[in-house]
């Protein structure tokens, strides 16, 4: 009787369906090609992805609670943004001239010998009051002013201050539109600040020059000019005929009345130094008027 190799004669064949059969079936199943492939089946991958998502969600939640806890449990409000106007650039010399020119007048003073002298002035009040340098009109037989619109009028000297070389003129006739100059504060000037001088130098009407404040609180003396103190020194060009015109700051405000220039010769022409009476002293006749 033939027997399968390797089986002993006394070994009995395992009963069909018994425990040995089950063990054999399990071992046999391990060698089946589809068993290991079941580990990478779609169902197993979906379960793995779901687990990873849950872990990530828990991590994000933990970070969120940590962030809230570090700020006292309340989210930080975002800063609010409100619109702000852009800073306006300072006016140009051309803009300053356009603003002040309607307030400037041309003055002609007739002398007893038949000659005349010209100068400048600036309207400082709605009633048409004009400030100028006293030496322009002092001793004149008649004085005539020409406004910016061409209106001409005789004027009288309403007041004067010889110490500061200032005169106030009252016109008999006013133009249809009176444009007083905007007055500023000379006590706020600093050396180096930009200034503009407007007037009628050498009979050249409505001329303008620009420069800077080159000194403050100056004092000069002369036979025909201011003897008071606290004059503004500037280097904007002025010449005979500029006297009485306004000295204007960089904002278009009149801060002084031009009264003199410095020249070591007898030529009387500008060499780089002019002087103006502070506007408060000019308005008040040498006293201290309320500042604007």
Residues classed as catalytic: 135, 165, 243
**Gap between the Cα atoms of 36 and 41, Å rounded:** 10
| Residue found under tokens 């169902």 | 43
Print the SS3 string covering the chain.
CCCCCCCCCCCCCCCCCCHHHHHHHHHHHHCCHHHHHHHHCHHHHHHHHHHHHHHHHHHHHHHHHHHHHHCCCCCCCCCCCCCCCCCCCCCCHHHHHHHHHHHEEEEEEECCCCCEEEEEEEECCCCCCEEEEHHHHCCCCEEEEECCCCCEEEEEEEEEECCCCEEEEEECCCCCCCCCCCECCHHHCCCCCEEEEEECHHHCCCEEEEEEEEEEEECCCCCCCCCCCCEEEECCCCCCCCCCCEEEECCCCEEEEEEEECCCCCCCCCCCCEEEEEHHHHHCCCCCCCCC
| Residue found under tokens 């407007």 | 198
**Gap between the Cα atoms of 130 and 156, Å rounded:** 10
Residue 88 in tokens = 């306006």
Terminal alpha carbon distance of the chain: 139
């Amino acid at each position: 009787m033939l027997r399968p190799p390797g089986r002993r004669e006394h070994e009995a064949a395992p009963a069909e369906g018994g425990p040995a059969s089950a063990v054999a079936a399990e071992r046999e199943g391990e060698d089946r090609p589809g068993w290991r492939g079941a580990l990478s089946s779609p169902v197993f991958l979906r379960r793995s992805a779901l687990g990873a998502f849950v872990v990530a969600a828990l991590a994000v939640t933990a970070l969120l609670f940590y962030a809230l806890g570090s700020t006292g449990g309340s989210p930080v409000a975002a800063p609010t943004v409100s619109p702000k106007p852009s800073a306006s650039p300072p006016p140009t010399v051309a803009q300053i001239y356009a603003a002040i020119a309607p307030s400037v007048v041309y003055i002609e003073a007739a002398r007893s010998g038949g000659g005349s002298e010209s100068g400048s002035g600036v309207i400082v009040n709605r009633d048409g009051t004009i400030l100028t340098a006293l030496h322009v009109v002092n001793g004149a037989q008649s004085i005539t002013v020409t406004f910016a619109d061409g209106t001409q009028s005789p004027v009288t000297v309403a007041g004067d201050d010889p110490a500061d070389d200032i005169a106030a003129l009252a016109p008999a006739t006013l133009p249809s539109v009176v444009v007083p100059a905007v007055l500023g504060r000379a006590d706020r000037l600093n050396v180096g600040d930009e200034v503009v001088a407007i007037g009628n130098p050498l009979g050249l009407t409505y001329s303008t020059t620009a420069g800077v404040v080159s000194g403050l609180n100056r004092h000069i003396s002369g036979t025909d000019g201011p003897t008071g103190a606290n004059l503004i020194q500037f280097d904007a060009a002025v010449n005979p005929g500029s006297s009485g015109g306004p000295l204007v700051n960089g904002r278009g405000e009149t801060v002084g009345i031009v009264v003199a220039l410095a020249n070591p010769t007898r030529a009387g022409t500008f060499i780089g130094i002019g002087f103006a009476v502070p506007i408060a002293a000019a308005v008040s006749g040498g006293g201290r008027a309320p500042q604007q």
